[in-house]
């Protein structure tokens, strides 16, 4: 059988090409090791061992080379009752959209599917649960990077497709290609790579498309993420084409959809637009460029087996922008119902009504490592706050509460009971000069050592509302500094070294075998508190950990390598027990103090109140939208040195395009850094200048004096937030363009971004990725997109922003939510794991703090974190700035380089101006 990849390119072939030539014997990119078990109910809950690594698929297991090796149960053709729910085995091919399928199937099937990665189980183990236990009603094979001809990409899936002829199977994208491959069809390069773009679909009316329209102008538009496709000319007689497209692509229309129910997210059609508005001219959209020309090459989009209940879809029904996606999953459920009504006996059915536990990878980790008591909060006998007072000092914990808390202690965790006192000062902020004057007056002396400021310096249009600031605090204050272990001889070491300094200056060093996230998770969950303490506070940060998580901690979130060592600590946090909060909407100021319950006096509140009242309203300039940077300004000509030259960066973009062409990734967020040495630099002055020139909703100042480290961040992007109601929110940015010099030019550029096919594709891919990440830790059916592709305008750029929300599962911790989504998908690309591996091989230095996140973990288990972009890192006499952009199939290498330089201009100019 010929598995060769059809290509006219003379360039060296990457991994996918080699795999499809059946020479994939030395795959250069490792995959995450399987470290967890699939939890299965067999009478009682039984945990079976994790997979023993990826297993090569022998040619003897391919069609025409197999002899039946498994004795199947005899299926009696007796009628049985229709299924109340459908139990799906969902095979994850290490994709970043699998949990979008998981969420959809959870709602449609009535019970969540079981997710196993394609190398978790052996064929023998799967046979046991498929045939002896009758544990599943159908199988869904996820999308994924690479090629179905590469064993490391497809895992157990080819064996399932060949041997499970009597179980309904739906393959999506890579799973679809695998279905074709296993029956002898050829998988070749598609006419063009299509990622995050929509096509109208025509189908033959088969049962998988029941009640779904077909053809041009029917409204059936689907999202495609693929570089490879099945050659329709190579289809064997047993495979029937059921859907195809002529590859005409359409644009999305940015639209607010707050009224959409979460369950309608996959089927909402109002987000589509077939035409460009009249006010956007051809010059704005470059409609004459080859990448935007309509193409009419028919591409196979769906197949079914003539006798087996096996189906394949090249497009992604789970995407937020695919119309009728939910209906497709409903139809597959009905296909499964009808199949078992005809072919499975009542004797074999129902022996294990619920055979499997909910078992996502994260949930398995949570079940094994998190004590359910950790999330319990004793709500009994709490004293209510005093109504009608702006000064709010809650009562001390009484003896009953303390004894009750002790009774709930778990021997392995040292629980800490924290109490909160706070005071509110109405309409005070503007009277004392605003946030800048408050920070400089209270914390800005002595170079603002060991201070923090989460600074909502841009609050227009409700982008942000609160700022938090503080310095070295009281008896509970401490600083954490964590560095990952060195990776020697290619060995993977997740642990690292932690240094903890307390308020008295005493330092404790330790090695964290299980890494930083594990430590932080136990710390946050060890706190006990009364919710009555913060009744009346309009914000979610009441004290706790505040700092940053560096990009290299991806090593603790499923990635397998950090080729480069960060110069800065991989994570730094203060435990802030005293802080000031500013409500920019109401102009109110709050001062907060947390203590361990043993204190009877909190003098910090009195001292800080006195200092606030004595602050004088200094003359400050009104912040207006600044004129865009002069196009002639170049950071490289101003003394910054780039990690990579223009040629090297463009070469890397071309390598990314090659990976995308061969199906290794849908989108790669390539980055680099520029650096400048200095002798003297007023870091706080630089930050104040930066926040005035480039105000942002998720800006931050952090000064870790012990590490000679200052962070001046003007980020416009939220990574992830968890509020007190358990709602998770992500706001990824993908798509950036410079502001115009005139109002007319500025509006033209805004519309150019809004209706850019390339930028829409970038944004949609990351929206689907974030839906997947939230889907791992959110209640089924709760993940939705209230805002898709809004354009937001800042001092120097327009950006395209989307909002994704979901309801957190009750048994999942705050830190687990961050691990599920870290690093932010807008800084990696999709699929995330494969993309990070590829980027690690291309980039020449560690990203360090850049691409990580800054924010807080409140002691009551809420958090809010940004994405570290538009940031100056000042460390040991050097200022560094990271920047980059998302590379997609439509990218132009020269344009990508110019976009990267654009993103460095504002922070670089601040350094040059203030040096």
CA atoms within 13 A on the CB side of 886: 32
d(CA 251, CA 758): 10
Q: Tokens at residue 774, please?
A: 């939230």
Q: Report helix angle 646-661 to 832-842, nearest 10.
A: 150
Q: Which of 123, 107, 175, 120 is nearest to 145 (CA)?
A: 175
Torsion of CA 547, 549, 551, 556, to 10 degrees: 170
Q: Which of 192, 224, 198, 196 is nearest to 302 (CA)?
A: 224
Partners of residue 451 on adjacent β-strands: 703
3-state secondary structure of 676: strand
87 neighbors 110 (Cβ within 8 angstroms): no
Q: Tell how strand 138-141 and strand 88-92 pair up.
A: parallel
* Inter-CA distances, 485 with 34, 843, 876, 912, Å: 21, 20, 21, 35
Secondary structure of 399-437 as H, E, C letters: HHHHHHHHHCCCCCCCCEECEEEEEEECCCCHHHCHHHH
d(CA 90, CA 50): 16
d(CA 563, CA 558): 15
Q: Which of 152, 135, 173, 113 is nearest to 16 (CA)?
A: 152
Q: Tokens at residue 754, please?
A: 């809004």
Q: Tokens at residue 879, please?
A: 């200022």
The catalytic residues are: 173, 316, 318
d(CA 748, CA 746): 5
Q: Which of 228, 232, 249, 231 is nearest to 145 (CA)?
A: 228
Count of Cβ atoms closer than 10 Å to residue 427 Cβ: 11
d(CA 759, CA 764): 9
791 neighbors 750 (Cβ within 8 angstroms): yes
128 neighbors 49 (Cβ within 8 angstroms): no
Q: Tokens at residue 551, please?
A: 């990009």
User: Assign residue 536 a region: left if phi > 0, alpha if psi is -120 to 50, beta otherwise?
Assistant: left
| Tokens 């002055």 belong to residue | 685
Q: Report helix angle 814-821 to 361-369, nearest 10.
A: 150
Q: Which of 630, 627, 631 is nearest to 746 (CA)?
A: 627
Question: In what helix (H) or strand (E) does residue 361 lie, and over which residues does it extend?
Answer: helix 361-369
Q: How many residues does the chain have?
A: 915
DSSP 237-252: TTEEEEEEE---EEEE
DSSP state of 93: -
Q: Tell how strand 138-141 and strand 169-172 pair up.
A: parallel
Phi, psi (deg, nearest 5) at residue 627: -65, 145
291 neighbors 197 (Cβ within 8 angstroms): no
Alpha helices in 425-482 (DSSP H): 434-443
Q: Which of 173, 139, 130 is nearest to 153 (CA)?
A: 173
* Inter-CA distances, 773 with 572, 658, 733, 825, Å: 24, 26, 16, 9
């Amino acid at each position: 059988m010929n598995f060769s990849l059809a290509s006219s390119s003379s360039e060296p072939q990457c991994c996918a090409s080699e795999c499809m030539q059946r020479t994939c014997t030395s795959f250069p990119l490792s995959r995450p090791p399987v470290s967890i078990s699939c939890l299965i109910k067999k009478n009682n809950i039984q945990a079976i061992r994790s997979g023993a690594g990826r297993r090569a698929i022998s040619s003897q297991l391919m069609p025409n080379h197999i002899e039946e090796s498994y004795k199947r149960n005899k299926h009696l053709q007796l009628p049985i009752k229709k299924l109340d729910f459908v139990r799906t085995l969902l095979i994850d091919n290490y994709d970043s959209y699998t949990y979008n399928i998981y969420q959809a199937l959870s709602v449609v099937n009535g019970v969540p599917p079981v997710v196993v990665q394609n190398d978790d189980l052996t064929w023998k183990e799967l046979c046991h649960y498929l045939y002896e236990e009758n544990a599943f009603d159908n199988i869904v094979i996820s999308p994924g990077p690479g090629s179905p001809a590469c064993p490391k990409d497809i895992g157990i899936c080819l064996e399932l497709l060949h041997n499970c002829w009597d179980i309904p199977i739906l393959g999506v994208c890579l799973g679809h290609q695998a279905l074709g491959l296993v029956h002898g069809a050829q998988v070749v390069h598609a006419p063009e790579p299509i990622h995050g773009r929509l096509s109208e679909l025509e189908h033959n009316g088969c049962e998988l498309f029941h009640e779904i329209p077909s053809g041009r102008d029917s409204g059936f538009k689907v999202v495609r993420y693929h570089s490879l496709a099945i050659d329709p000319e190579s289809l064997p007689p047993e495979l029937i084409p059921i859907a195809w497209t002529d590859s005409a692509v359409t644009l999305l229309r940015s639209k607010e959809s707050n009224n959409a129910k979460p369950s309608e997210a996959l089927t909402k059609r109002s987000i589509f637009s077939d035409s460009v508005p009249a006010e956007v001219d051809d010059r704005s959209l470059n409609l004459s460029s080859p990448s935007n020309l309509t193409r009419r090459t028919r591409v196979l989009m769906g197949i079914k087996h003539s006798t087996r209940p096996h189906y394949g879809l090249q497009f992604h029904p789970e995407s937020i922008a695919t119309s009728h996606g939910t209906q497709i999953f409903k139809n597959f459920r009905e296909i499964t119902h009808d199949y078992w009504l005809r072919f499975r006996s009542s004797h074999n059915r129902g022996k294990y009504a619920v055979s499997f536990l909910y078992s996502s990878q994260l949930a398995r980790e949570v079940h094994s490592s998190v004590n359910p008591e950790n999330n319990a909060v004793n709500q009994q006998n709490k004293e209510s706050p005093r109504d009608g007072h702006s000064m709010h000092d809650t009562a001390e914990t009484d003896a009953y509460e303390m004894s009750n808390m002790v009774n709930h202690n778990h021997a392995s965790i040292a629980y800490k009971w924290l109490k909160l006192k706070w005071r509110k000062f109405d309409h005070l902020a503007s009277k004392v000069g605003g946030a800048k004057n408050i920070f400089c007056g209270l914390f800005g002396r002595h170079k603002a050592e060991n201070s923090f400021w989460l600074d909502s310096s841009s609050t227009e249009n409700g982008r942000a509302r609160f700022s938090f600031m503080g310095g070295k605090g009281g008896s509970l204050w401490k600083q954490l500094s964590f560095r990952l272990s060195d990776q020697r001889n290619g060995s993977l070491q997740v642990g690292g070294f932690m240094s903890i300094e307390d308020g008295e200056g005493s330092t404790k060093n330790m090695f964290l075998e299980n890494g930083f996230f594990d430590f932080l998770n136990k710390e946050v969950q060890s706190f006990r508190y009364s919710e009555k303490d913060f009744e009346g506070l309009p914000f979610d940060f009441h004290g706790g950990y505040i700092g940053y998580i560096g990009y290299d901690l991806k090593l603790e979130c499923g990635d397998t390598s950090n080729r480069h060592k960060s110069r800065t600590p991989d994570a730094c946090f203060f435990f802030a027990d005293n802080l000031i909060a500013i409500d920019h909407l109401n102009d109110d100021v709050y001062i907060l103090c947390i203590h361990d319950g043993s204190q009877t006096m909190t003098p910090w509140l009195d001292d800080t109140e006195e200092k606030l009242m004595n602050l004088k309203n200094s003359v400050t300039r009104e912040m207006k939208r600044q004129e865009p940077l002069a196009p002639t300004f170049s950071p490289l000509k101003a003394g910054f040195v780039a990690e990579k030259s223009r040629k090297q960066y463009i070469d890397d973009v071309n390598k990314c395009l090659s990976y995308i062409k061969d199906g290794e990734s849908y989108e790669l967020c390539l980055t680099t850094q520029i650096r400048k040495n200095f002798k003297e630099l007023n870091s706080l002055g630089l930050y104040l200048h930066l926040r005035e020139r480039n105000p942002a909703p998720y800006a931050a100042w952090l000064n870790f004096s012990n590490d000679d480290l200052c962070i001046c961040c003007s980020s416009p992007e939220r990574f992830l937030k968890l509020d007190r109601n358990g709602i998770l929110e992500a706001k990824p940015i993908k798509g950036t363009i410079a502001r115009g010099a005139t109002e007319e030019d500025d509006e033209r550029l805004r519309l150019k971004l809004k209706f850019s096919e390339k930028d829409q594709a970038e944004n949609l891919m990351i929206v689907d990725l974030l839906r997947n990440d939230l889907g791992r830790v959110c209640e089924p059916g709760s993940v939705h997109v209230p805002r898709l592709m809004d354009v937001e305008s800042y001092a120097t750029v327009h950006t395209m922003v989307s909002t994704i929300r979901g309801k957190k599962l009750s048994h999942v911790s705050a830190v687990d939510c961050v691990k599920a989504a870290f690093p932010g998908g807008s800084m990696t690309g999709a699929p995330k794991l494969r993309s990070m591996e590829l980027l690690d091989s291309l980039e020449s230095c560690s990203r360090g703090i850049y691409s990580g996140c800054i924010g807080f973990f409140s002691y009551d288990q809420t958090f809010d974190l940004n994405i570290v972009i538009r940031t100056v890192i000042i460390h040991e006499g050097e200022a560094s700035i990271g920047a980059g952009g998302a590379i997609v199939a439509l990218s132009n290498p020269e344009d990508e380089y110019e976009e990267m330089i654009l993103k460095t201009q504002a922070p670089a100019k601040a350094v040059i101006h203030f040096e």
